[in-house]
Structure 1
Amino acid sequence: MKQDHLLLTKQDKWVRPFFKKYKKLLALVLFLGFLTFFSAAALMFTSGYLISRSAAKPENILMVYVPIVLTRAFGIARPTFRYIERLGSHNWVLKMTSDIRVRLYRSLETEATDTKENYQSGSLLGILSEDINHIQNLYLRTIFPICTSYILYLFIVIGLGYFSLPFAGLMLILFALILVVLPLAAILVNNARVYRKKAKKHVLYNDLTDAVLGVADWQYSGRYEEFLTQYNDAESSVREEDYQLNRYSRLEGIIKQFIFGVIAICLFIWSGSYFISQGNPGALNWIAAFVLSFFPLLDAFGPVSDSVKELPIYEDTVQRLSKLPDPDKLDAGVAKNSITLESTTIQLEDVSFKYSQGKRELLSHFNLTIPEGDVVALLGKSGTGKTTLTQIIRGDLLPTSGKVLVGGVDIKEMEGQQAKYFGVLNQHPYLFNTSLKNNVRLGNLDATDEDVLKAIEAAGLKQVVERLPQGMDTLVEEGGKRFSGGEQQRIALARILLQDVSIVIIDEPTIGLDPLTEKQLLETVFNVLKDKTVIWITHHLVGIHHADEVVFIEDGKIDMSGSPKELLETNEHFKQLYEMDVYE
């Protein structure tokens, strides 16, 4: 068994905290669960008494009137409580998983630029779907049923103790076999199997995701049969673990049914002897009541060992989630070390960088100063590190060596506060399937409708909005499909304007646009971002006159730099590139 158990311990930040946060709703759910099974048992109890009493031909209908009313009342109460309990438990779980998804997003967002390096796509999908699903099941299929069962267990033993302490002790032992011994045995026997199954499913998830993403290559290379064989073998291995687990479950089911049978016989014998000893012939009617009331409890006690058997899966899930960064600590650090910059001058001092799994240095002893309010264009071949450089400037990546200063402050000290100062306009801004107004308001959630409209107009979208059927409230559609590429970039630009940051990183926003749209978009961008510090990544020189300085990067270093005018006058290579781009 694993030594570092995290499930429901003080170190757990993904499951345990929600017990306290939603404790009132949790208490209500458990109480409703208890009432559900209590009503079911009471229904059988009163029904058993009613049938037995009616068979004895009562002298007066009033002798069975109360049991008739109770039977009807408990018959209505059982499904009612069950329905309300289901609503409450699912409401609780939906609240909890909603919080977990937000927490998971915030956790991954803290290391967003390293996500692809640290996690495979299949691993991320496993966390987002499988692990979240496991936590939902932890509550619905394990915690709620187990808590309800133990509440019923205590209630039954105490209730039987009112009639007979020796018999209550016997039931204490027999029910303990189902609620304690069998679950512990299930954990001991199946623990290793459950972990193996979880690990194999995780590998299968990763391999399948990789294969689907590269399915065309499998097909073109003629090796699709090899992939199918590998996948079938891996799936067979998972099915083998399932078979072993199911075989144990069947054996456990037989043992459970045997114990339930023993309990039913003991109840029959005890109730018969106990009520006969009372000397009242009518007391025999209680025998059927006590015996029948036991059977609905099978639904409460039966699933406990099955639920506990899955605890290793949940523990593994919590351990995986616990390895992610803690967003609460980050937020606390940000609140404690809030920084106000007096300048947005950016200085890179002897910066070198390479990815942890890479052999080649993308940047080597790189030095650059970007004065406040200047527009700097970064050019170079694909793979020379332009985008990486902007990520280092923003603090999403930390340099292997050297320093990055913004307004004299080390970027490391600004962790979690970059959004106050940096905005990013990239190649493919994502637009959500909501209104145009809501998409722009992502830049500043506290902005008024008037502020949003001003940002939209400044981004050159006034005429576009006027043509829309519902103006700013028009649905954008997922991915912004309603708008052209240039319009999508303008919407993203409006977000940045609403964000009102001092430094804007522009990562090739005009890729895929026609020359006229490209020129118009660049004119708008640099007009509305006037007086801001702008870092512009581009592959060609259209609109380069907007830049105060042009920096060419080659082999991790600055190959040439200067103002566009200077380079045109003094650098023949730049002049050739400019003529090729502008006059092509």
Structure 2
Amino acid sequence: MFNKIPIIQALKEDRWVKPFLKRYKKTLVLAISLGILTFVCAAGLMFCAGFLISKSATKPENILLVYVPIVLTRAFGIGRPALQYLERLASHNWVFQMTSKFRQNLYDALEVDATKFNSKYQLGDILGLLSDDVSHIQNLYLRSIFPMFVAWGLYAIIVVALGFLTPLMGLWMLLVFGIMIFAIPIWSIIVNGSKQSFEKEARDRLYVDLTDNVMGVSDWVLSGRSQEFLKLHVDNQAKMVEVQQQIKSFERKRNFIVQMFYLLVIVSLIIWGAGKFAHATNWIAAFVLAVFPLNEAIAGLPAAGQETNVYEKSLRRLNKLKTEKITNNEKIQIEAPYNLLLKDVHYTYPKTDKEVLSGINLKIVAGEKIAILGQSGAGKSTLASLLRGDRLPSQGSISLNGIPTAKFGDQIANYFSVINQKPYLFNTTIANNLRLGNETASDEQIWDALDRVGLLEMVKKLPQKLDTKVDEAGLRFSGGERHRLALARILLQDAPIVLLDEPTVGLDSVTEQAVIDTFNQQLVGKTMIWITHHLQGIDKMDQVLFIEHGQIVIQGSPNELWENSSRFRELKKADQGL
């Protein structure tokens, strides 16, 4: 029966949690022991208090019958908070030791798979993994594993102690506490398991949908579908809230049943005590009151067990990642000229059946300027990621001088520079931002790069010149200036291939043309791959190709296409407003 519980199956196949249970087992045993002793002291305090109150109501035969319980009450009263404090220190130290190493392994796994990770998961998946799943694993220790071990220890003590006094009573407590500690938590897992799984999936889906849609909110607005976007989010949120209400309704009923069983324990002890200690009624109150603190340890077990449904999903998702850090120390060195070759490249996004690219064949020779055009969603940016090795083609190959670009890893930065749609500038100085392209660049080299992109005079007029802070995301500068600063960074990097991924989006036509002219002037001799959605400045390219439905439908030089392709002529006229 236990083997059919999802969390048990997940732990059997686990490569993340189990190793830490073994590695830090001494700390775990210490924490569990202190947890058990904390509740023993709490029960002992109530036991002595019950005995003392009952005994003080009658004339004691001996002063020791009152004095000893007073001393024990003080001892248990001091011991309970002291042990609880030590238990919290030990248990949290145990968890933090494990989760610190756990997080290190997680980040190592993401670092190893960094270039491939983006192709397997959407950004919302990554946020769900890092924010939700890591905290779930930590809660698996603190809220489920640890309380269960403590409750099992107390269960053994209760059954053995009462069984020693009255075997029949020990068997009865074995049954009643067994239902509360094992049967009801398993019932919670089974009944609420599917609901909690749906809730977790719904929350993950909200991470994915909301993140991706917000990042593309401009597309929703431009397409006139903003209300559809809002309705999609509201509907998903409403479904999750409905399931959460069903879960809470079940929890209220379950908690009521647990308390009824706890009442049954108290009534049983009263009846047992009345028969066992008929001539010493002060013991009845002692035994009954001793059970009350145990409610804190046992009543929360069904909720703790139920939460393992959520943890099980996180555990399985984490176990899909590699757990060992793999380093590739092989230095890849290639010599100029640097030629790119794409052979029958196909790409399908994970979790979908939609093929974004279908049979792309392309040769980009060193020093060539090539423009890649197409509508939004045609696969242009996906092709850019494939060229740098950030994604792996589903079929076919992309190579730089005969070596697959995915094999270069971090070394790809020696050969590729990238300017994105919105070049990011960090909240630090101009010099620090530009040295991201070349950490060893001198001030003279930085001034030279700024001069080449037309920003020399502007930066010289700033109060702190190169030490001027650019503000978060570079908001101190205009869009055109941010693009020029990004180009200066590229010039310092001095990579032979420059990838421009729609770098002029959002710029007015005058600024856009000025930025394009600067790119063409300063990137002479380098291979330039320009991904764009319209044809301004296209005449200065050596080769132009259009991607539509994942395939190259038009390809050639601007002059050849103007002469031979009526569609190209129509597109160019439309782009120019003719």
Q: Match of 2:421?
A: 427
| Residues in 2 aligned to 1:224 and 1:421: alpha-carbon distance in whole angstroms | 40
Letter in 2 for 1:252: I
Q: Of residues 262, 265, 277 in structure 2, which corresponds to 1:257?
A: 262
Secondary structure in structure 1 of the residue aligned to 2:313: helix
Kindly indicate whether residue 361 of structure 2 is the aligned counterpart of residue 366 of structure 1: yes
Mark the runs of 5 or more structure 1 residues left unpaired by the alignment: 277-283
Letter in 2 for 1:306: A
Q: Match of 1:139?
A: 141
| 2:105/2:323 contact within 8 Å kept | no
Letter in 2 for 1:423: S
Using the TM superposition, name which of 123-132 and 481-490 deviates more: 123-132
Change (3 A) 1:92 1:502: farther
Secondary structure in structure 2 of the residue aligned to 1:351: strand
Q: Match of 2:186?
A: 184
Residues 330-345 of structure 1: matches in 2 within 5 Å? 332=326, 335=328, 339-343=332-336, 345=338
Change (3 A) 1:222 1:342: closer
Kindly indicate whether residue 340 of structure 2 is the aligned counterpart of residue 347 of structure 1: yes
Secondary structure in structure 1 of the residue aligned to 2:369: strand
| Residues in 2 aligned to 1:225 and 1:250: alpha-carbon distance in whole angstroms | 37
| Residues in 1 aligned to 2:128 and 2:336: alpha-carbon distance in whole angstroms | 43
TM-score by length of 2: 0.71
Letter in 2 for 1:74: G
Letter in 1 for 2:531: I
| 1:197/1:238 contact within 8 Å kept | yes
| 1:29/1:85 contact within 8 Å kept | yes
| Residues in 1 aligned to 2:143 and 2:420: alpha-carbon distance in whole angstroms | 44
Q: Match of 2:544?
A: 551
Change (3 A) 1:91 1:512: same
Q: Of residues 77, 82, 98 in structure 1, which corresponds to 2:82?
A: 77
Residues 31-430 of structure 1: matches in 2 within 5 Å? 31-48=33-50, 50-51=52-53, 59=63, 66-67=71-72, 69-74=74-79, 76-77=81-82, 80-81=85-86, 84=89, 88=93, 91=96, 95=100, 102=107, 110-113=116-119, 115=121, 131-132=133-134, 134-156=136-158, 171-195=173-197, 234=239, 238=243, 241-242=246-247, 245-246=250-251, 248-250=253-255, 252-262=257-267, 264-265=269-270, 268=273, 272=277, 289-322=286-319, 326-328=321-323, 332=326, 335=328, 339-343=332-336, 345-353=338-346, 355=348, 362=357, 364=359, 366-371=361-366, 374-382=367-375, 385-399=379-393, 402-411=396-405, 413-414=407-408, 418=412, 421-430=415-424
Secondary structure in structure 2 of the residue aligned to 1:318: helix
Q: Match of 1:476?
A: 471
Letter in 2 for 1:311: T
Q: Deviations over 1:95-133 (max 9, x none)?
A: 4785587478656862424645xx9x6x77665655555
Task: Measure how far apart 1:427 and its partner are.
Answer: 0.8
TM-score by length of 1: 0.70
| Residues in 2 aligned to 1:581 and 1:188: alpha-carbon distance in whole angstroms | 61
Q: Deviations over 1:220-268 (max 9, x none)?
A: 8998999799679846852674366236414532443244325643774
Q: Deviations over 1:325-361 (max 9, x none)?
A: x2446x53x5287644345623325434364667788
Letter in 2 for 1:507: D
| Residues in 1 aligned to 2:44 and 2:437: alpha-carbon distance in whole angstroms | 58
| Residues in 2 aligned to 1:260 and 1:389: alpha-carbon distance in whole angstroms | 68
Secondary structure in structure 1 of the residue aligned to 2:544: strand
| 1:440/1:498 contact within 8 Å kept | yes
Q: Of residues 503, 506, 527 in structure 1, which corresponds to 2:500?
A: 506
Change (3 A) 1:242 1:176: closer
| Residues in 2 aligned to 1:189 and 1:133: alpha-carbon distance in whole angstroms | 24
Give the number of equivalent residue pairs: 557
| Residues in 1 aligned to 2:436 and 2:50: alpha-carbon distance in whole angstroms | 63
Letter in 2 for 1:180: F
Using the TM superposition, name which of 158-167 and 183-192 deviates more: 158-167
Secondary structure in structure 1 of the residue aligned to 2:506: coil
Task: Measure how far apart 1:293 and its partner are.
Answer: 3.1
Change (3 A) 1:235 1:544: same
| Residues in 1 aligned to 2:337 and 2:22: alpha-carbon distance in whole angstroms | 44
| 1:541/1:577 contact within 8 Å kept | no
Letter in 1 for 2:361: F
Using the TM superposition, name which of 380-389 and 96-105 deviates more: 96-105
Q: Deviations over 1:170-197 (max 9, x none)?
A: 6545433322233234334444554466
Task: Measure how far apart 1:426 and its partner are.
Answer: 0.6
Using the TM superposition, name which of 80-89 and 405-414 deviates more: 80-89
| 2:344/2:361 contact within 8 Å kept | yes
Letter in 2 for 1:508: E
| 2:118/2:391 contact within 8 Å kept | no
| 1:44/1:293 contact within 8 Å kept | yes
Task: Measure how far apart 1:82 and its partner are.
Answer: 6.8
Task: Measure how far apart 1:440 and its partner are.
Answer: 6.4
| Residues in 2 aligned to 1:28 and 1:465: alpha-carbon distance in whole angstroms | 64
| Residues in 2 aligned to 1:442 and 1:161: alpha-carbon distance in whole angstroms | 72
Letter in 2 for 1:387: S
| Residues in 2 aligned to 1:210 and 1:554: alpha-carbon distance in whole angstroms | 23
Q: Deviations over 1:350-379 (max 9, x none)?
A: 4343646677885655231322xx252314
Q: Deviations over 1:139-189 (max 9, x none)?
A: 332122112222333455566688788866665454333222332343344
Task: Measure how far apart 1:425 and its partner are.
Answer: 1.5
- The alignment yields a C-alpha RMSD, in angstroms, of 5.7
Task: Measure how far apart 1:406 and its partner are.
Answer: 0.9
